[in-house]
Amino acid sequence: MAHDATALGAGLTPGLRGIGSDWAGDKQTFHVPWGKAMMWIFLLSDTFIFTCFLTGYMHVRASTRIPWPNPSEVFALSFGGEPIPLILIAIMTFILITSSGTMAMAVNMGYRGHRAKTASLMLMTAALGAMFVGMQAFEWTKLIIDEGVRPWSNPMGAPQFGAVFFMITGFHGLHVSIGVIYLTTVAMKVLRGDYKKRGYEIVEITGLYWHFVDLVWVFIFAFFYLW
Amino acid sequence: MAPAEGQRHPLAIYFWIWGLLFVLSTFSYMVDYIGFEGYLRWGLILTFMFLKAGFIIAVFMHMMWERMALMCAILGPPTVLLVLIGLMAVEGDYTFLTRLNFFGADTTEFAEHH
């Protein structure tokens, strides 16, 4: 084999390192910081995961003979008077959109070099995210304790409702929770001045993740709660 | 890359999109609140959903200012998911009809099982 390697040319790196150098070809494809390209590729893979979940949901909902519970009524909430349909989910949606806005502001302030403003906007975003997760915990508790919904059964109709609900909102909630930790960590480092020399792309990369979480919610809101 | 070369845009555009997302979310919620049914309901839900998703990706995630190479690399692959969705829609329909054939349309039995 050593003979073949020399026959290929002296300039090529052999073995495992060779795989890397062959694919890289010493050429940059995406003219963005590598961290940003990697975040985009991660989000692409996450898109496939969430689409598989939502497609699975579409399939079980289309194929069940047992009536699907009406989300408008299941997620209604009463503040003393008549129950308002889907109100909790609407509030959660507005909270997430607000957090997306504060995140966009944080990215902008980062590139302007306003350290304190960037960090506080990021912390505000994290706080809104935590609020969202809190409301989701409330929603889960209500469904599990009061309504008796389980991943394998559901007294309101199709048992698949429970499985789909816990899996999809659970996976999204996990993303929000990780995002809150991620945002807080980066915000602290911004505040400490870690990026003064390196630049504030990190804020934009964190922002990409956060906007993606909001983006996924747009689809969950439309397909699971409104449909 | 130097910090100055990052995505720097006027604040106004973010505020506009932020406001639009609020309006569009209110519209989506109103679809349920008013209680539209059938194709009108689904059409409106999808319209508002795609508008919201588009604004988030294009402006908040800065995709409209990125190079075409990155845009295609990220937005291209998810289009194959349409094949999966199409196949599963057909398959779901088939499973439903098969179940009707074998078990009938009786929908009361679920109460006995649980």
pLDDT in tens, A88-123: 999 999 999 999 999 999 999 999 989 999 999 999
User: Which CATH architecture does the domain made up of A33-226 adopt?
Assistant: Up-down Bundle (1.20)
Chain B residues with CB-CB distance to A214 below 8 A: 56, 60
Whether A47 and B78 lie within 8 Å, measured CB to CB = yes
pLDDT in tens, B21-65: 999 999 999 998 888 989 999 999 999 999 999 999 999 999 999
Residue in chain A nearest B38 by alpha carbon: A227
Checking if the pLDDT of A11 tops 90, the result is no
Q: Percent of chain A, pLDDT > 90?
A: 61
Checking if the pLDDT of B86 tops 80, the result is yes
Checking if the pLDDT of A5 tops 60, the result is no
CB A160 within 8 A of CB A70: no
How many angstroms away from the CA of A219 is the closest CA of chain B? 7
Which pLDDT score is estimated for B112? 46
CA distance A122 to B18: 16
More confident residue, B105 or A122: A122
* Residue A116 burial by Cβ neighbours in a 10 Å radius (0-12, 13-18, 19+): exposed
CA distance B92 to A17: 47
Which pLDDT score is estimated for A164? 93
Is A40 in CB contact (< 8 Å) with chain B? Answer: yes
CB A63 within 8 A of CB B92: yes
Average pLDDT over residues A55-65: 92
How many angstroms away from the CA of A7 is the closest CA of chain B? 35
Average pLDDT over residues A153-175: 92
CB A153 within 8 A of CB A85: no
Average pLDDT over residues A161-179: 95
Checking if the pLDDT of A7 tops 60, the result is no
Average pLDDT over residues A196-204: 89
CA torsion through residues B92, B95, B101, B105, sign: negative
Rg (CA), chain A: 23
Across A76-80, A203-207, B5-9, B34-38, least confident range: B5-9
Which pLDDT score is estimated for A126? 96
For helices A34-63 and A160-192, the axis angle rounded to 10 degrees is 160
Checking if the pLDDT of B91 tops 80, the result is yes
Residue in chain B nearest A40 by alpha carbon: B74
Q: Which residues of A8-30 are buried (b: 16+ CB within 10 A; e: fewer)?
A: eeeeeeeeeeeeeeeeeeeeeeb
Q: Which of A63, A103, A226 is nearest residue B28 as measured by Cβ atoms?
A: A226
A36 CB neighbour count, 10 Å cutoff: 21
Average pLDDT over residues A199-215: 94
CB contacts < 8 A (A, B): 168
Residue type, B64: M
DSSP A13: P
Which of A59, A114, A121 to mutate to test binding with chain B, by most B CBs within 10 Å of its CB?
A: A59
Checking if the pLDDT of B3 tops 50, the result is no
Is A94 in CB contact (< 8 Å) with chain B? Answer: yes
Which pLDDT score is estimated for A23? 79
Count Cα atoms within 13 angstroms, Cβ side, for A194.
12
Which pLDDT score is estimated for B113? 46
3 state DSSP class of A113: coil
